[in-house]
């Protein structure tokens, strides 16, 4: 059951801590006498056969670095059956008997397709700043992205209060509001807009009217995928109702994806990277390794890619209660 020769890749949006996960995979493989190969540029590299050998020294000095030394991509070629067939052939020709895929939902869907169509042993590692993979309570990169966004929001609060302004701050999260909700509460935001819940703009205006007269400034954290279409659109709607508001918009964008990973993300990456290799050794495959309620878990890919992860329900209640 123990693989002799494994390959690993990072795919989809990069996330701080991916390098720490690569390091953990390569060094755990080395510890167990397994050869490791890095695939460049995500699934594109699998289709092209861009492989590099990785020994324990090849992953030195990366644990602290954001991004991914293997680079990443959202591969069109791999979305086609022909692309996946070529990828499987390239793996077999290189003598690789297991593949570790570090990434979010799209990455895990691709891994699952490769496993069922071509009988490749795959293991997913839950990594996306969006935290929207149900197979792990936290995904690698989420904590760092939240801390980066929080630092920016704190700074915006300084200038918002100096000028008595309302700031609409857009954070990442195309389909989910984890970053928005977590940073919103941590930053003491007056309001949070997320894709999971349609808020009425009238309600938001009411809150802002109350808060702005009492407090002088307000911060609204908006997930990029919120149902009103993002921070600029929302700000326009509010300005149309309340021309007296002094409004500014700040879109944090990709700066949330970079930077040195936090302790929490490095630790998670170490556990999941090592867990991926040791899971394969134990005979597991076609699953996603994660941490659920503190324990290492292996969720079958078929389940993991369908799981809908909900934001902690108590946070919805906390926000208005604390933002008075």
- Binders of ligand F6P among residues 147 to 176 (CB under 6 A) are 172-174
Nearest to 194 by CA among 149, 229, 225, 234: 225
Binding mask of the shown chain, residues 227 to 266, with x at each position contacting ligand F6P by CB under 6 A: ------------------------------x---------
Task: Give min distance, CB of 130 to ligand F6P, in A.
Answer: 5
Task: Give min distance, CB of 195 to ligand F6P, in A.
Answer: 11
Taking the least distance from each CB to ligand F6P, the nearer of 208 and 222 is: 222
Taking the least distance from each CB to ligand F6P, the nearer of 130 and 137 is: 130
Taking the least distance from each CB to ligand F6P, the nearer of 62 and 251 is: 251
User: Which of these segments, 62-70, 80-88, 128-136, 288-296, binds ligand F6P (CB under 6 A)?
Assistant: 128-136
CA 199 – CA 177 distance, rounded (Å) = 13
Q: Is 60 an interacting residue with respect to ligand F6P (CB under 6 A)?
A: no
CA 175 – CA 11 distance, rounded (Å) = 18
Taking the least distance from each CB to ligand F6P, the nearer of 16 and 83 is: 16
Q: Is 13 an interacting residue with respect to ligand F6P (CB under 6 A)?
A: yes
- Residue number with the smallest Cβ distance to ligand F6P: 13
Q: Phi/psi of residue 125, each to 5°?
A: -120, 125
Task: Give min distance, CB of 102 to ligand F6P, in A.
Answer: 12
- Please, which residues have CB within 8 angstroms of residue 17's CB and are 6 or more apart in sequence? 127, 140, 141, 144, 261, 265, 266, 268, 269
User: Which is catalytic among the residues 41, 130, 137, 265?
Assistant: 130
Q: In this chain, which of 109, 128, 212, 217 binds ligand F6P, going by CB under 6 A?
A: 128
Q: Would you give the distance in Å from CA 26 to the centre of its chain?
A: 21
CA 225 – CA 234 distance, rounded (Å) = 12
Burial bucket for residue 321 (CB in 10 Å: 0-12, 13-18, 19+): exposed
Helix (H) or strand (E) holding 54: strand 51-54
CA 32 – CA 176 distance, rounded (Å) = 38
Taking the least distance from each CB to ligand F6P, the nearer of 137 and 224 is: 224
Task: Give min distance, CB of 9 to ligand F6P, in A.
Answer: 15
Task: Give min distance, CB of 199 to ligand F6P, in A.
Answer: 20
Question: How many Cα atoms are found within 13 Å in the side-chain-facing hemisphere of 246?
Answer: 11
Nearest to 177 by CA among 211, 136, 145: 145
Query: Is 178 within 8 Å of 130 (Cβ atoms)?
Result: yes
DSSP secondary structure string, 208-235?
HHHHHHHHS-EEEEEETT-TT-SHHHHH
Beta bridge partners of 249: 168
User: Which of these segments, 19-27, 114-122, 123-131, 158-166, binds ligand F6P (CB under 6 A)?
Assistant: 123-131
Q: In this chain, which of 70, 122, 129, 289 binds ligand F6P, going by CB under 6 A?
A: 129
Tell me whether residue 58 is one of the annotated catalytic residues: no
> Is the torsion defined by CA of 98, 101, 106, 108 positive or negative?
positive
Q: In this chain, which of 18, 110, 130, 275 binds ligand F6P, going by CB under 6 A?
A: 130
Task: Give min distance, CB of 223 to ligand F6P, in A.
Answer: 9
Task: Give min distance, CB of 156 to ligand F6P, in A.
Answer: 19
Catalytic residue numbers read 130
Residue numbers at the binding site for ligand F6P (CB under 6 A) = 12-13, 128-130, 172-174, 224, 257
């Amino acid at each position: 059951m123990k693989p002799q020769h494994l390959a690993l890749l990072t795919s989809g949006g990069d996330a701080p801590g991916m390098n720490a996960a690569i390091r953990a995979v390569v060094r755990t493989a080395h510890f167990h006498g397994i050869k490791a190969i890095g695939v460049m540029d995500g699934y594109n590299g699998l289709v092209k056969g861009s492989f590099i050998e990785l020994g324990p020294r090849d992953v030195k000095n990366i644990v602290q670095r954001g991004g991914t030394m293997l680079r990443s991509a959202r591969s069109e070629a791999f979305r086609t059956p022909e692309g996946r067939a070529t990828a499987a052939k390239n793996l077999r020709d290189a003598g690789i008997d297991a593949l570790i895929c570090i990434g979010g939902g799209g990455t895990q869907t691709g891994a699952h397709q490769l496993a069922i169509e071509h009988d490749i042993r795959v293991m997913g590692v839950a990594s996306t700043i969006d935290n929207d993979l149900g197979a792990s309570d936290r995904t690698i990169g989420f904590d760092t992205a939240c801390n980066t966004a929080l630092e920016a929001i704190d700074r915006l609060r300084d200038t918002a209060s100096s000028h008595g302004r309302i700031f609409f701050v857009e954070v990442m999260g195309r389909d989910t509001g984890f970053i928005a909700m977590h940073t919103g509460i941590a930053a003491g935001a007056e309001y949070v807009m997320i894709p999971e819940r349609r808020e009425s703009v009238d309600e938001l205006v009411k809150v802002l009217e109350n808060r702005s007269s009492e407090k002088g400034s307000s911060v609204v954290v908006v997930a990029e995928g919120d149902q009103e279409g993002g921070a600029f659109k929302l700000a326009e709607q509010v300005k149309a109702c309340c021309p007296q508001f002094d409004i500014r918009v700040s879109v944090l964008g990709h700066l949330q994806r970079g930077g040195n990973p936090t302790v929490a993300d490095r630790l998670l990456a170490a556990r999941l990277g090592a867990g991926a290799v040791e899971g394969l050794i134990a005979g597991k495959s076609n699953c996603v390794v994660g941490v659920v309620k503190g324990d290492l878990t292996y969720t079958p890919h078929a389940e993991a890619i369908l799981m809908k992860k909900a934001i902690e329900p108590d946070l919805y209640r906390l926000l208005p209660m604390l933002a008075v």
